[in-house]
Structure 1
Amino acid sequence: MLSPERLALPDYEYLAQRHVLTYMEDAVCQLLENREDISQYGIARFFTEYFNSVCQGTHILFREFSFVQATPHNRVSFLRAFWRCFRTVGKNGDLLTMKEYHCLLQLLCPDFPLELTQKAARIVLMDDAMDCLMSFSDFLFAFQIQFYYSEFLDSVAAIYEDLLSGKNPNTVIVPTSSSGQHRQRPALGEAGMLEGVEASLFYQCLENLCDRHKYSCPPPALVKEALSNVQRLTFYGFLMALSKHHGINQALGALPDKGDLMHDPAMDEELERLLAQVPGLVNSVTASPEASCLPSRTPPRVGSPWRPLHHHSRKVDGESDGSTEETDESET
């Protein structure tokens, strides 16, 4: 049954809003790269399994960063995968450095840029040294804001700098490239870090930015709520307020509430099924933080979401009892 949202939009607008062409192009590229294997099972089955993986959010595992950040759904899927795979870090109470968290990110996305990890760590650490230890939950919620709203925050940083210098923030150019090469965030001077800007004026500029921004941005009403109790604020104080805001986390929809971050039996079962499909990931999750964060560790590369399923199902099909229970479980 078609949703009311689908019926309210012309076909081309709905396809663009859902980034369907992005997934079709990626599916075709993988189809061509693996055409010899696919010829044994059929194109229809390949597309079925590909789009099932997109719906389940597993399509971003071990993919290049340009694909991981290509759509809002991909970003949400990556955030959720990072939380699922390394939630044990938080459950064990381990504290890691920025470089160690970056190694964990690279286990899921080999070319994940260090710059984004550094920006997320700076939200937590503020003026502290970048080699300080951070809890998993603090880093995760800061990383969520930085990663999902990356382009928006680059524009916010420029607005903040303009307000500090007395310039007109309306002259800020909103980034329009989706290539993943984000503009370098302006360096915030020590005076700007301590002094801050007037919260009401800052919000007015952000409201105008949200109206014209082409990328995802937090709901303006929730941003206003996050700033309602302060008269002045610094840039990183603003980012910290976003990362701790319950409503913004719910609106984004990638992570549970902070109180439920470590407690989810159903998620533990799903994690076990995921690890069973990727044996190379088991050691990285169950090992100590020091062992799992070695820079020399090379994450496994999965070129296509359907390939392990085919190999597994072919083995089951050859068994005499005809059972499909194991195959069905591996495809969930």
Structure 2
Amino acid sequence: MASGTALRKPGRRGAAASASASRRMLSPDRLALPDYEYLAQRHVLTYMEDAVSQLLENREDISQYGIARFFTEYFNSVCQGTHILFREFSFIQATPHNRASFLRAFWRCFRTVGKNGDLLTMKEYHCLLQLLCPDFPLELTQKAARIVLMDDAMDCLMSFSDFLFAFQIQFYYSEFLESVAAIYQDLLTGKNPNTVIVPTSSSGQHRQRPSLNETSALEGVEASLFYQYLENLCDRHKYSCPPPPLVKEVLSNVQRLTFYGFLVALSKHHGINQALGALPDKGDLMHDPAMDEELERLMAQVPGLLTTTTSGPESGCPRTSPRVGSPWRPLHHPRKVDAESDGSTEETEESEP
């Protein structure tokens, strides 16, 4: 089991994240919670168990610099969000913080795909996800692609930003969306959705969504009734779901809607993206000065790298992403990360929607 803990000084973004985490820990709201509720809410035991597991697995290496330093580095990496790199899927989806960290890492690592204007297929995006999480399930990638492509063939090309925001909704709110799909199907067929089966998040296996391609599905369901059940769903369950006021805002703009129309609206909603807090606004998606500075520093260490890449016709960015090791190098079991997928530099701008 590879660890995402990194022995490196945090950058400005990492320092800001650590400061933000510290402020949350010192918040008066924390003192209002019983100890066990706070531990459960922040998933502290999950990280303690993982840290001890990492310690035992790598005890020979850790003995060289001490247990105290290991725990310091581990929890620093948790605060910075680098602890999920190259980890198994069951871990990266174990907590909301892990999911948000994985989304942020995926954006930062493969942002150049969007900067270059490349369009990739669902399978190519899945390959990129597997570079960060080798056992990432194909089904989740397919569901994210379906939000973008709707009724189009699954081998169609997608822009990085379209896929990323759809993937964010599907990955972060996966259990919520499974229950929403069940409610929607019941309403569509005239049933009373009294019982909602919530899949276990730790299993990594997800129920197939109901088939929503029937003629009756084209009209969708009544938005106000749909919201009533979604509001109750958010009240009954502890797992992550979009803020109910924002869901209500999405549904208040239409009288009827389809299931995938609802998912598209969630993925494009500015407020939901801000509430989740993993990705920047769409207009700032290609800008990450801290990462650009880090990449420039790494490229400068490779002789001849900058002279061998060619510039794109519009963005001025390298058309071929340099094969540079990830700046987030794991504490143990280092592995090289290839930030490209086969076909990712193919010129497909004429197919862009």
Whether these two folds match at TM > 0.5 is yes
Write out per-residue CA displacement over residues 173-210 of structure 1, whole angstroms, 9 at most, x where no aligned residue: 33355332222222223324412111111111111111
Shift of 1:133: 0.4
Q: Tell me the residue number matched to 2:9.
A: none
Q: Distance in 2 between matches of 1:319 and 1:125?
A: 22
Q: Distance in 1 between matches of 2:217 and 2:87?
A: 36
Contact map agreement 2:143 2:170 (CA 8 A) in 1: yes
Shift of 1:328: 42
Contact map agreement 1:162 1:169 (CA 8 A) in 2: yes
Write out per-residue CA displacement over residues 77-117 of structure 1, whole angstroms, 9 at most, x where no aligned residue: 00000000000000111000000000000000000000000
Shift of 1:40: 1.4
Contact map agreement 2:188 2:217 (CA 8 A) in 1: no
Write out per-residue CA displacement over residues 284-318 of structure 1, whole angstroms, 9 at most, x where no aligned residue: 9999999999xxx9999999999866x99999999
Q: Are the structure 2 counterparts of residues 60 and 193 from structure 1 closer, same or farther at C-alpha, using a change threshold of 3 Å?
A: same
Write out per-residue CA displacement over residues 239-297 of structure 1, whole angstroms, 9 at most, x where no aligned residue: 0000000000000000000011012322322456799999999999999999999xxx9
Q: Are the structure 2 counterparts of residues 171 and 34 from structure 1 closer, same or farther at C-alpha, using a change threshold of 3 Å?
A: same
Q: Distance in 2 between matches of 1:123 and 1:323?
A: 21
Shift of 1:15: 0.7
Q: Are the structure 2 counterparts of residues 54 and 287 from structure 1 closer, same or farther at C-alpha, using a change threshold of 3 Å?
A: farther
Q: Are the structure 2 counterparts of residues 151 and 316 from structure 1 closer, same or farther at C-alpha, using a change threshold of 3 Å?
A: closer
Q: Tell me the residue number matched to 1:316.
A: 337
Q: Distance in 1 between matches of 2:85 and 2:38?
A: 26
Contact map agreement 1:157 1:235 (CA 8 A) in 2: yes
Greater fraction helix: 1
Q: Are the structure 2 counterparts of residues 134 and 301 from structure 1 closer, same or farther at C-alpha, using a change threshold of 3 Å?
A: closer
Stretch moving more, 37-46 or 244-253: 37-46
Q: Are the structure 2 counterparts of residues 306 and 89 from structure 1 closer, same or farther at C-alpha, using a change threshold of 3 Å?
A: closer
Write out per-residue CA displacement over residues 7-50 of structure 1, whole angstroms, 9 at most, x where no aligned residue: 11111110110001111111111111111111111111111101
Q: Distance in 1 between matches of 2:119 and 2:340?
A: 47
* Structure 2 spans left out of the alignment, 5+ residues: 1-24
SS of match in other structure, 1:312: coil
Write out per-residue CA displacement over residues 142-167 of structure 1, whole angstroms, 9 at most, x where no aligned residue: 00000000000000000000001111
Residue 307 of structure 1, aligned match among 326, 329, 351: 329
* Structure 1 spans left out of the alignment, 5+ residues: none
Residue 220 of structure 1, aligned match among 234, 237, 244: 244
Stretch moving more, 194-203 or 238-247: 194-203
Q: Are the structure 2 counterparts of residues 156 and 286 from structure 1 closer, same or farther at C-alpha, using a change threshold of 3 Å?
A: farther
Contact map agreement 2:122 2:155 (CA 8 A) in 1: yes
Shift of 1:213: 1.7
SS of match in other structure, 1:141: helix
Q: Distance in 2 between matches of 1:318 and 1:243?
A: 25
Q: Are the structure 2 counterparts of residues 231 and 3 from structure 1 closer, same or farther at C-alpha, using a change threshold of 3 Å?
A: same
Q: TM-score, normalised by structure 1?
A: 0.82
Q: Are the structure 2 counterparts of residues 269 and 30 from structure 1 closer, same or farther at C-alpha, using a change threshold of 3 Å?
A: same
SS of match in other structure, 2:278: coil
Contact map agreement 2:122 2:145 (CA 8 A) in 1: yes
SS of match in other structure, 2:201: coil
Q: Tell me the residue number matched to 2:51.
A: 27
Q: Distance in 1 between matches of 2:116 and 2:342?
A: 42
Q: Distance in 2 between matches of 1:25 and 1:42?
A: 18
Q: Distance in 2 between matches of 1:113 and 1:322?
A: 21
Q: Distance in 2 between matches of 1:45 and 1:326?
A: 47
Stretch moving more, 58-67 or 5-14: 5-14
Shift of 1:323: 40
SS of match in other structure, 2:347: helix
Contact map agreement 1:273 1:330 (CA 8 A) in 2: no
Contact map agreement 1:62 1:301 (CA 8 A) in 2: no
Shift of 1:217: 0.2
Contact map agreement 2:223 2:256 (CA 8 A) in 1: yes
Residue 95 of structure 2, aligned match among 46, 71, 88: 71
Stretch moving more, 159-168 or 315-324: 315-324
Q: Are the structure 2 counterparts of residues 290 and 27 from structure 1 closer, same or farther at C-alpha, using a change threshold of 3 Å?
A: farther
Q: Distance in 2 between matches of 1:193 and 1:327?
A: 33
Q: Distance in 1 between matches of 2:141 and 2:92?
A: 15
